[in-house]
Amino acid sequence: MRRRHYDSRMNTTTAANAPQMGTGTSLKQDAGVICLVGLAHMISHFSQLLLAPLFPWLKDDFNASYAELGFLMTVFFVVSCAVQMAAGFVVDRFGPRPILFGGLATLGLAAFGFSMSNSYWMLAGVSVLAGIGNGVFHPVDYTLLNRKVSSPRLGHAYSVHGITGSLGWALAPAMLVPLTLAFSWRVALASAGVLAFAVLAVLWFNRDKLALPPPAPAAHKDHVAALEGGSFGFMKIPAVWMCFAFFFFYAMALSVVQAFAPEAARQLHQVPVALVATCLTVYMVCSAGGMVLGGFLAADPTRCERIVGFGLGFAALVALFIGFADVSGLAVPALFGVMGFAAGTGGPSRDLIVKRSTPPNSTGRVYGVVYSGLDIGQAISPLVFGSMMDHGQYRGVFIGLALVQAVLITTAFNVRKARRTVALPTAGATA
């Protein structure tokens, strides 16, 4: 048994993995991959909000409480978490393209299933199907980006990936609510299914750009031998679990902003009701803008932790300002925009932190485990902050948001600390 520097091991394996890392691809090739992966990622986020904007209509038609409707979202994210962790191994074994096509088709079928549901329990069963479809995207997306996009453009690739996800969240209510008002919620959900299959068709006709064979058997065998525990050896790398913790707290912060912070701000600052939903829209749009800047800032991977720390630190200060300052209700949406832009600048750097902690030929499984922290965080956060809202602790919501963002900063730097060295057992080696 002996200790080696993990970053040094990553450097020594770069040459062997160069053909799989997209280091010699052209701008046109990179742009094609980035756009196609981003389009698929948009549908993933779009599908996460298929039901939530329609709760007022579903509540009446199914005679269900908001708690029961919220449980459908819990089912979705719990299933998505489990599938995401398993999907990484499947992606590494069979390649990402067939898994991506399967995920999109499953989401399309789920949308049609929702549109035809005639009972609450049918909605719950289709939520399981939707969670299965959603669970494959992060392992697939990051495997394609990391192995097909050239290293100098990875920051921009992560930026586009984050932006398309935000646009997917924004598109769901913007599309579904008007269709429901004009026709019905069933027509709206069927239209969502058509959209998912339309995107699948686009990717199918451009499938050559997404071709990526699984690692060569010899390379895979050598890598498995490098980590005690075979295919699960990566789970002994401390940096992987620090990344998991980072995304867990990241999801908690995002869930607070999406579900509770706008209403808490309304209670504190008498924000006009018409502007409450605008707070979230402004946050997401400005977050996307921050990701554009973050793509350029992430060009130097060595400063990723500092970028994340500065962006989230500034966002935490804005959260405290909203919670305690005496500001006009009309100014609150603008403050949400500033908070979103600051948090968004760290998005591409956040993804590079994970990449730098990923062993060769393990991208799918590492991203599957790490990003499952998102689903778990989104499942737990409403229980904590929802209780605070029920007890009228509106300032406490912003204090909690700032604390979670502070924990994120600490976790990002701990990833780098944990990544510096790792115990790597070598056959026949002596201590």
pLDDT digits (tens, 9 = 90+) for 146-169: 888 887 787 788 888 888 988 888
- Give pLDDT, residue 154: 79
Which pLDDT tens digit goes with each residue over 15-30?
A: 334 444 444 567 888 8
CA contacts within 13 A on the Cβ side of 319? 30
Radius of gyration for the alpha carbons in the chain, expressed in angstroms and rounded: 22
Which pLDDT tens digit goes with each residue over 245-298?
A: 888 888 888 888 877 888 889 889 988 876 776 787 788 888 888 888 887 887
Rounded to whole angstroms, the Cα distance separating 322 from 350 reads 25
- Give pLDDT, residue 417: 63
Question: Is residue 14 pLDDT above 50, yes or no?
Answer: no
Helix (H, G, I), strand (E, B) or coil at 228: coil
Q: Hey, what domains does the chain have and what are their CATH numbers?
A: 27-207 (1.20.1250.20), 236-419 (1.20.1250.20)
- Give pLDDT, residue 68: 80
Q: Which two tokens stand for residue 168?
A: 């997917």
Rounded to whole angstroms, the Cα distance separating 342 from 349 reads 13
Q: Which residue has the tokens 């459908």?
A: 72
Which pairs with CB-CB distance under 8 Å and at least 24 residues apart come from 199-208?
199/39, 199/40, 199/42, 199/43, 199/104, 200/101, 200/104, 200/105, 200/108, 202/36, 202/39, 203/36, 203/39, 203/40, 203/100, 203/101, 203/104, 204/101, 206/32, 206/36, 207/97
Q: Which two tokens stand for residue 103?
A: 């995920």
- Give pLDDT, residue 225: 46
More confident residue, 74 or 79: 79
CA contacts within 13 A on the Cβ side of 431? 0
How does residue 364 score in pLDDT terms, banded at 50, 70 and 90?
A: low
Which of 33-42, 362-371, 387-396 has maximum average pLDDT? Answer: 33-42
Question: Is residue 319 pLDDT above 90, yes or no?
Answer: yes
Count of positions (residues) in the chain: 431
How does residue 104 score in pLDDT terms, banded at 50, 70 and 90?
A: very high
The helix (H) or strand (E) run that includes residue 428 is none
Question: Is residue 67 pLDDT above 80, yes or no?
Answer: no
